[in-house]
Amino acid sequence: MKSARIRRSGRAVGLEFKHGFAGANALSTPSKVSTGPFLLMRIDRRKPEPLLQIVNERIAILLSLAEKNAKSRPERSKRYVRLARRLATRYRVKLGKLKWKFCRECSAFWVPGFNVKVRMRPREKRVVYTCECGAERSAIYAKRKS
């Protein structure tokens, strides 16, 4: 019988085996996966749907507050962006196109002409965003030929 990886706290992490530990989350429903002589059990670690809806609403509120305060109070705006990113990371929520509204390096909410320069590079078919901190991000604006 194989054993799972154990944290320093003594709790088991990851997959559990047929005759192994009870699991890190005893309330979750394990699904069986056959891999040869051992029967592995996967623990369902998905977050409940109502919780994810609350997280998405909170992220939207924080980013709208960041947008309102971007010019008048840039430090507060950065704080809102950091909180929204932390929520998205903790609850594994994808930000999608919202990722292009702030800087990855300094968490500044981008306002074109105020704290970010937007430049076109037509030969490379790219748009380059240069933040006030010096970080650059680029996006392709033409479809590639298949």
d(CA 146, CA 144): 6
Opening angle at CA 129, ends 106 and 69, nearest 5: 50
* Backbone dihedral angles phi then psi of residue 85, each to the nearest 5 degrees: -65, -40
Q: Taking the C-alpha atoms of 115, 75, 59 and 135 in order, what is their torsion angle to the nearest 10 degrees? A: 40
**DSSP annotation of 112:** B
* Residue 38, pLDDT score: 58
d(CA 50, CA 65): 23
Cβ-contact 30, 45 below 8 angstroms: no
Tens place of pLDDT per residue across the chain (146 aa): 444 454 455 444 454 444 444 444 444 455 555 555 555 566 667 778 889 999 999 999 999 999 999 999 999 999 999 999 999 999 999 999 999 999 999 999 999 999 999 999 999 999 999 999 999 999 998 776 76
* Cα 97–chain centre separation: 12
Which token pair is 2?
Answer: 């194989």
